[in-house]
Structure 1
Amino acid sequence: MGIFMQLKQLGKPIAIGNTAHIYRYKEGIVKLFHSYLPADVASYEGGKQQIVHAKGLAVPEIWEITTVESQPALVMSYAEGKPLGELILENESSLAHVEQYFEIFVEQQLLLHQIDGEPLELMDEKLTNQLHRATLLEDKVKETLLDQLQRMKYRKVICHGDLHPHNMLLADQQVTIIDWVDATAGDLRADVYRTYLLIAGHSVQMAELYVQLYCGKSKLTREEIFQWAAIVAGARLAEHHSPEEAVRLLDIVKHWI
């Protein structure tokens, strides 16, 4: 496609995330990654998004993996809709509305979990790397978690890896899932626990509603999902987080190890 653009062409961002600014560009968007990130960040995320798009999932189509004035960038189709997270917060006082939005969320996640995950990055390799980088974990704890991970048996399905209601857009009953950088071929139970962990960081009540709905629709038990609690929480310690979040994650590891 050979799209060439300059930063001044992009105007003001329509959204700002932890790793990138999002700009409207013609009929699509540009996801411009921060300059301090690795040079291959766009190809890493874009490659994963191309894989899941090719499997027929409702995700933005990647048009170009490029750079804008030396910054890694993705050019992709524009996804209509409002984040489910915003809709949930706007209707927080209505349990019926909140549950309705979480029903949509869970149904979409269940669809992912029915699809073969290859050739995405393998979940166990990603988690192993994260656990090795989690400097707040004691060596003996790391060894225990790595041993637990090695013993896990599962079918490798598409796992988003960072699925929370703000990464799912809703427009006229059409859902689009965004931000695929953490996607892996892995165990759906770990993916569900990761989602629970992210939601619980903001509201334990909503996280409990989420996992209750997922268990009800999937026939999984809470116990099966929480087998992954210590591993997933420990791996999350490799990411950037507040001191308060680090304490929460360490407490989870200690409780479930």
Structure 2
Amino acid sequence: MTNAVGRKLGEGACAEVFEWEDGSKIVKLAKPNINAAELEREWNHCRSAWECGLPVPETFGLVTVEGRQGIVFERIYGESILSRFINKTIGPSKQEDRSVLVEDYLGARITARLLYQIHTKSVNLSSQRAKFRNDIGRATILTKLEIETLIAHLDQLPVKEQLCHGDPNPGNILLRDHEALIIDWNDASTGNPEADLAEYIILIQYAVIPPYLPAELKAYLDTIRESTIQIFLEEYEELSGIGYAEIEPWIAPVAARKLSADATSESERVLLVDEIRKRMRNK
């Protein structure tokens, strides 16, 4: 790495994050499964969100470091909702009164408010629906008939043209003082807010805790999945008027889209396929 790159701060399925220059910025360097076009698209999405006045880190441009493509961002000093939840559940700041964790530490209301703020914007990004068709078509775990049925169902859903984030998971929402910011705009698109909401519901319902984390965390998460989803739905509906009846038709196609994502584990894929097939039988 060059002198501009500092210590490693984190890693995901598609990138590594390092300090950049004087430490006031970070650089997100793509892994081999991400090409230059995909990284440029993410940079464009982040810049568009910033220009809309949304609470996102400022972007400073694209760079190449020892052959790796990257994006330079403003560094946000804070913790993610996911990190806060883990720390308050099993970490040094473990909260003994678990009754307050649902509202305070899993961030369902914060997430709903952020998504509503995003969904009030209209930006000319790539088509959410076209991306979903492509992702569903690559879900090789499904049969050809299942894929065709899901795409036909998707095509029957109402069309909207609002800004959507695409991956509103608790690890992508950072808390800085009394402010929440949302990062990782790779999957952003123009489309239906209901898809973002379905994404969050599926994530909370079926997220699999990595084996390196204590079983205590999984046990506690299992007790609050449904109540967290309910808090999220109530908050978003109060803000927007959109409720579960409008979101439900999106759950199967969004679940199918996730089957081809690099970040989806095999155990999650099994759960998602079961959910998809159950919903298709009930149609």
Q: Is the TM-score greater than 0.5?
A: yes
- Mapped pair 1:13 → 2:13: no
The one-letter amino acid of 1:133's match is R
Shift of 1:97: 4.3
Runs of 4+ in structure 1 deviating by more than 4 angstroms, as ranges, are: none
Contact 1:122 / 1:186 at 8 angstroms: preserved in 2?
yes
Any residues of structure 2 matched to 1:135-154 within 5 Å, and which? 135-154=140-159
Post-superposition Cα deviations, 1:188-239, rounded to whole Å, max 9, x if no partner, equal 1111001111122234333344334333443322122111111111111111
Any residues of structure 2 matched to 1:19-168 within 5 Å, and which? 19-25=14-20, 26=22, 27-92=24-89, 93-100=97-104, 101-116=107-122, 118-168=123-173
RMSD (CA atoms): 1.8
Post-superposition Cα deviations, 1:80-136, rounded to whole Å, max 9, x if no partner, equal 2210122233335533343143222211111111111x3111110110110111111
Which moved further from structure 2: 129-138 or 101-110? 101-110
Which moved further from structure 2: 78-87 or 214-223? 214-223
Post-superposition Cα deviations, 1:158-200, rounded to whole Å, max 9, x if no partner, equal 1110001111111111121100000011111111001111122
Post-superposition Cα deviations, 1:48-70, rounded to whole Å, max 9, x if no partner, equal 11111111111111111121111
Contact 2:57 / 2:76 at 8 angstroms: preserved in 1?
yes
Contact 2:14 / 2:33 at 8 angstroms: preserved in 1?
no
How many residue pairs get aligned? The number is: 251
Contact 2:136 / 2:256 at 8 angstroms: preserved in 1?
yes
Shift of 1:242: 2.7
Post-superposition Cα deviations, 1:29-53, rounded to whole Å, max 9, x if no partner, equal 1111113432323212111111111
For 1:15, what is the secondary structure of its paired residue?
Answer: strand
Query: What residue in structure 2 maps to residue 186 of structure 1?
Result: 191
Mapped partners of 2:99, 2:240: distance in 1: 22
For 1:253, what is the secondary structure of its paired residue?
Answer: helix
Contact 1:61 / 1:76 at 8 angstroms: preserved in 2?
yes
Mapped partners of 1:72, 1:103: distance in 2: 35
Q: Which runs of 5+ in 2 are unaligned?
A: 90-96, 208-220
Query: What residue in structure 1 maps to residue 211 of structure 2?
Result: none
For 1:35, what is the secondary structure of its paired residue?
Answer: coil
- Mapped pair 1:201 → 2:206: yes
For 1:42, what is the secondary structure of its paired residue?
Answer: helix
The one-letter amino acid of 2:55's match is A
Shift of 1:12: 2.4
User: Which of 266, 270, 275 is the equivalent residue of 1:252?
Assistant: 275
Mapped partners of 1:45, 1:37: distance in 2: 11
Contact 1:83 / 1:169 at 8 angstroms: preserved in 2?
yes
Mapped partners of 2:269, 2:172: distance in 1: 23
Mapped partners of 2:142, 2:234: distance in 1: 30
Contact 2:108 / 2:232 at 8 angstroms: preserved in 1?
yes
Query: What residue in structure 2 maps to residue 176 of structure 1?
Result: 181
For 2:27, what is the secondary structure of its paired residue?
Answer: strand
Contact 2:206 / 2:272 at 8 angstroms: preserved in 1?
no
Contact 1:88 / 1:98 at 8 angstroms: preserved in 2?
no
Mapped partners of 1:7, 1:248: distance in 2: 43
The one-letter amino acid of 1:207's match is I
For 1:12, what is the secondary structure of its paired residue?
Answer: strand
Percent identity, please. Answer: 27
